[in-house]
Amino acid sequence: MPTYSSRPSAVLSERAPLSVALQGFSYRDPPSVLSSFAHALSTCGCRLRSCEAIAAGRTELRFELPVEAALEIYASLLEFGLELTRASHLQMAALCTLRQHHHLAPGATRSVRLRVRFLCVDVRRESRTGASRQT
C-alpha cells in the first residue's frame, strides 16, 4: 500500500508530470501568431528553448513554463487563435489546477512542447497545386 504525505497536496504535486506535450492548429498567419506568442511567453517569465519548422505549415515550440504563469499562457494560446486538441485542453487545465490548489516550490516549472499546424499554409499550397492541375 502506498504511503502518503500528511499534506494531500504534496502527493498530487509530486506526481504531476514535469513535461507537457500540447498540439493544436490555427487558421491565422504563422508569423503573427508566433511573434505574438513569443512576446506573451517572455512577458509571463517563460524561457523559449526552441522554435522550429518541423514540416511545411507545422511548427514546434519548446519552452519552460513557470507553473504560476499557466493560466496566462493558456489564455494567450486561445487569444492568438490556437485551437487546442481535447487532450491539450485537459493538460492545460491540470496545470492551472496545480497552480491554484497545490503547494509547489517557488519557481516550479514544467517543460512544454507545443506543436502547431497552420492550416492557412496548407490551404494556400493546395489552392496553388489545384489551380495548376486544372490547366
Three-class SS state of 95: helix
Q: pLDDT tens digits for the chain (135 residues)?
A: 444 344 444 444 445 678 999 999 999 999 999 999 999 999 999 999 999 999 989 999 999 999 999 999 999 999 998 999 999 999 999 888 887 777 777 788 999 999 999 998 755 555 555 554 454
Burial of 127 (0-12, 13-18, 19+ CB in 10 A): exposed
d(CA 6, CA 95): 22
pLDDT at 107: 83
